[in-house]
Chain A
């Protein structure tokens, strides 16, 4: 056996040993939303937190100077900032080894390209398909960046990416909605209407016409929940009777699920892409877990009727043989934390196992080659 072979075997054994001791790195390359809450980012951080709590060596990588980095502490919680963070724009000597795993947020096509020769396992996290169409140049695809694995949050995303890039291997981990943060309370709800929309214009489009068309309800209070820290956001969902959700570009729609778990009645504007959880399995109709509206011109009437029904305790008790609360329970049940945590651990543990098997095979091949020679 040559010195070179010995060195290779030594390196492989070191990497195998690192994986066995959970000392290999798991890097998540993320975007800094500058303090703006984001469901997609929270999905990645929750995954990282699950691994971090289970003693995996997790690092969040971001591409801005550390002085400019805001992070998620203010809205997702300070505990998430305890996960190690590193600025890739400052850290030029980041050493990536074969045992490491690098995960890229879907927006980072350019980083996928730049690191296509990295020796580690590389995985794209797909939550928003539009980022793929927006950032991968015409004529290129993930395969050109040596990207063959994808972790995604919905079946639909998985099917779409396989249609686009048939060689991609996907794994679906549905997001979790925290039971600790989002739960109902025994206290009666307050008659306040939450509004969740990224666009301030939407809020004006909701409130002003409502007061103009229904002056008898001018006393009804609205609360804009945009940008609130997650614990206060959750408290408002828990406290208030009605939540209006507008997010035309949503891919997953975390907020209505969080509101459902909190017992708030949801008035939802039908997004361009209806989230998977909002459709019935049988015929892909909109589920009755939300009250859906298509146009702002209908909203004042729908809201006024809803308030009247709520103040009279006459909200419909059954749709198509199911109560709205049955529909809500059924809709939120796949998104429990335990199942999310279990799936995350299983996925990463399988990645590690596969890497060990791959490296062990290589070790054996080198040894057998030498013996046979």
Chain B
């Protein structure tokens, strides 16, 4: 597939991450360029690793760093999307992989559905420890009870269902930029907020009914693992409510979760 960039946000580099990211990069076809968007503290280590690792010599990989101290996923992704020239991009988490049929299918679907701004894959979810299949994600878009226009994610369907995996999806760079990308002030539900905002602006989103992405659940110290440890039920509810509110706004401001305030409501 042409005119597409794979973006890998990375805030840390150690031996485990090196092993995982190697596997992730090797799942990308050679002709698709990659951009690794790193936190400031690990930029030089990542650059060195990518340059020195022989396995990456056949790939076109660019490494960039955020200038500020932010290490959050949203800021790293926003920075990367902002600087690329390609029409499409896709985000690859360093511990996930694409399937070898994904980009061929994206090519077919982008040709066939030219008014669509985002193509999500059916995602295989595996347990990180056992590597056993756990479930699918994004599959609900193909349930006849989910949306009138089967296969598509719409504003109506998002009001009742939020569990979508956007990493691995192929997204129009222009449409991402016009919606301001991810909101870094939102914890846990930033993807949900993004999908709601995309849908509110009538951007079309479609799930390609092909298994395109492998996601590993339960990796220790993963972002979602950390959230599930540190957040109680009330905070989770707060972030969902916040996502719905923020999706309607254009201005972004820091958001603080105040447990006492929320409980008193």
**Which residues of A pack against B, CB within 8 Å?**
186-188, 190-192, 216, 218-223, 241, 311-313
Contacts and interface: CB of A to CB of B under 8 A. Distances in A.
B76 interface: no
Interface in B192-221: 208-211
B93 interface: no
A311 B209 CA distance: 6
A241 B150 CA distance: 13
Interface of B: 99, 101, 104-105, 108-109, 112, 122, 135-136, 139-140, 142-144, 146, 150-151, 208-211
Most chain A CB within a 10 A radius of its CB, from B101, B209, B210: B209
Contacts of A187: 112
A194 to B, nearest CB: 12
Contact of A313 (B105, B112, B135, B150): B105
Given A311-B122, A312-B99, A313-B105, A221 B211 contact: no
A313 B101 contact: yes
A184 to B, nearest CB: 13
A217 to B, nearest CB: 8
A220 to B, nearest CB: 7
Contact of A219 (B136, B208, B211): B136
B112 A220 contact: no
Most central of A188, A190, A218 by chain B CB within 10 Å: A188
A190 B113 CA distance: 13
Given A311-B211, A312-B210, A191 B112 contact: no
Contacts, number: 47
B140 A313 contact: no
Given A190-B150, A191-B209, A312-B210, A221 B101 contact: no
Given A219-B139, A313-B210, A192 B99 contact: no
Contacts of A223: 144
B142 A221 contact: yes
Given A190-B209, A311-B210, A312-B99, A219 B105 contact: no
Nearest to B208: A188
Contacts of A312: 99, 101, 210-211
Contacts of A191: 142, 151, 209
Contacts of B112: 186-188
Most chain-B CB neighbours within 10 Å: which of A219, A221, A223, A312?
A219
Contacts of B142: 190-192, 219-221
A107 B135 CA distance: 53
Contact of B109 (A188, A241, A311): A188
9 contacts: A190-B151, A190-B209, A191-B142, A219-B140, A220-B143, A221-B142, A221-B144, A312-B210, A313-B210
Given A190-B151, A191-B142, A221-B142, 9 more contacts: A188-B109, A218-B143, A219-B136, A219-B139, A220-B142, A221-B143, A241-B209, A311-B210, A313-B104
B152 to A, nearest CB: 11
Contacts of B99: 312
A366 B146 CA distance: 79
Nearest to A307: B209
A222 B143 CA distance: 9
Nearest to A218: B143
- The 4 closest A-B CB pairs, nearest first, are A191-B209, A221-B144, A219-B143, A313-B101
